[in-house]
Homo-oligomer: A and B are copies of this chain.
């Protein structure tokens, strides 16, 4: 979980997550089933954290899990099998206890907004006890603070 230290003022950006919509993700309406978007958000979230220097796998190995406590998703345009989608995400809020992320799912070329979403996650130890990263994992907390303050995203327009 090392992070090449960005200077305090440097902004950094992370490439968006790109993903093919799969046949097994369609339903008989002929589009990607809406539940699958939550899986895509998860993939994008884990990819983002990894790129920020925070391996989800390593985090779990240390005994921290990060369950979703809330998800909100607005479906704008259907995604079909074979479409390639791009998921951009950004930190909306980080409190030391909860992390709120925003997401935009667009066509790969960014032209069409397919969905907008928000997730709230918390942090727990293996006994399902809520933990404050701020108190119990200060290094991890500093990393989240840094991401929260210095990560820059070009949020797609609706």
Contacts and interface: CB of A to CB of B under 8 A. Distances in A.
Interface residues of A, number: 37
Interface of A: 20, 22-24, 26-31, 33-36, 38-39, 42-43, 46, 55-57, 60, 65, 67-75, 78, 81-82, 128
Contacts of A27: 23-24, 26-28
A97 B127 CA distance: 33
A75 B67 contact: yes
B34 A36 contact: no
Contact of A72 (B20, B22, B42, B72): B72
15 contacts: A20-B43, A22-B39, A22-B43, A23-B27, A23-B28, A23-B46, A23-B56, A24-B35, A24-B43, A28-B60, A34-B67, A35-B35, A55-B82, A70-B73, A71-B71
A74 B70 contact: yes
Contacts of A36: 35
A42 to B, nearest CB: 6
A82 B61 CA distance: 12
Given A68-B75, A75-B70, A42 B46 contact: no
